Amino acid sequence: MNITERFLSYVKFDTQSSEDAQGCPSTPKQLVFAEYLKNELISEGLTEVEMDEHGYIYATLPANTDTNVPVIGFIAHMDTSPDCSGKDIRPRIVSNYDGKDIILSEGIVSSPDKFPELLSHIGEDLIVTDGHTLLGADDKAGIAEIIQAMVYLQQHPEVKHGKIRIAFNPDEEIGMGAHLFDVEKFGCQFAYTIDGSEVGELEFENFNAASAKIHINGCSVHPGYAKGKMINAGRIATELVQMLPQDETPETTEGYEGFFHLTSIQGGCESADLSFIIRDHNRKKFEQRKERMEEVIAVINAKYGESVAELTLNDQYYNMREKVEPMMYIIDIAKQAMQEAGVTPRIQAIRGGTDGAQLSFKGLPCPNIFAGGINFHGPYEFCPVQSMEKAMMTIVNICKALA
């Protein structure tokens, strides 16, 4: 099975996670895919293959050298984003892409006018959707690349390597992927998540992240007799949104700029609920953003009455840079591995997060490497086959370099 066939077999599984669910995994369908992967790893000859009750999978490729080599790991996640359907994905391959519009389905077009990143992949073979679902390269491409690299190493015993551990986990897309990850069992000195996007991405900085859930308690009264009595929760919710900086949202920021992002709003006169995510690379500014949210709630309650607005703030993960910087040689190894695979490394900060951020704070330094997919979390997602092949060889070259 080649890497394309492997990836296409994975996207048949609907593994969308859910922010509204309790427990792990957040959706039982992730366990179906996990069971499939467990059996595949066994059939591909890996050892110490196990899956726990939460769907976390661990496996080993034993060393083929007596040299004292650090135990390293490679990690990818099984779930796909709640932002777009992952059910009944219908991928197809656009061979030798010519740089023109790609008709995904009738009336749905992926155009380089809107997505200029397509032009970086002229002449390559692009795996696309039918425009009704996401593709799932985030992060099934990463899983395919890791397993294909392990197969390659077994087929090429002349490539010496130490003990390699791999792991696949659920619920990364809802920020919970590393919560039940058993770092001690994994037993690695360091690891890499294969969860980046464009070819060459190498990341060891990410956002500090928090979630903010706000409930507005209104008071519904007949509108004809409402003066001095009604508290319209829906209107207060929109007022609250306008109190936050309007030029500090995802659609107005880039690079190291942080933001407040309204992810959902619903309700009416009686009650309303809002969900935000808060992001900033700078820890001090991150804390200030959380304080700003608390100040907004205080203003609302001072204006409309105590406990009209209720805020729940939860930190999700922090910037892994402080944990990786003392071990910058692991970045140098990855850069060298990419160059040997014909890839130009592009070190940049993640405008998002990875399981590696949380794992780094659990004692497993874990920078992030490209998986090759582009336009994640939506129906215009695509993944060049050549990008997956380069990611696979980057993994192989990391293993080879350490030995």
Residue 331's contacts (CB-CB under 8 Å, 6 or more residues apart) are 202, 204, 324, 347, 367
The Cα–Cα gap between 211 and 353 comes to 13
- Sign for the pseudo-dihedral over CA of 369, 4, 38, 25: positive
25 upstream amide cis, omega within 30 of 0: yes
Buried b (16+ CB within 10 A) or exposed e, 18-55: eeeeeebbbbebbbebbeebbebbeebebeebebeebb
The Cα–Cα gap between 216 and 236 comes to 8
Amino acid at 89: I
Catalytic residue among 40, 79, 139, 145: 79
Q: Dump the DSSP string for 112-170.
A: TTT-GGGGGGTTS-EEE--SSS---HHHHHHHHHHHHHHHHHHH-TTS----EEEEEES
Catalytic residue among 139, 172, 355, 389: 172
Cβ pair 131, 379 in contact under 8 A: yes
The Cα–Cα gap between 219 and 379 comes to 40
Active site residue 172: yes
Of the candidates 333, 346, 351, the residue with the CA atom closest to the CA atom of residue 372: 346
Active site residues: 79, 172
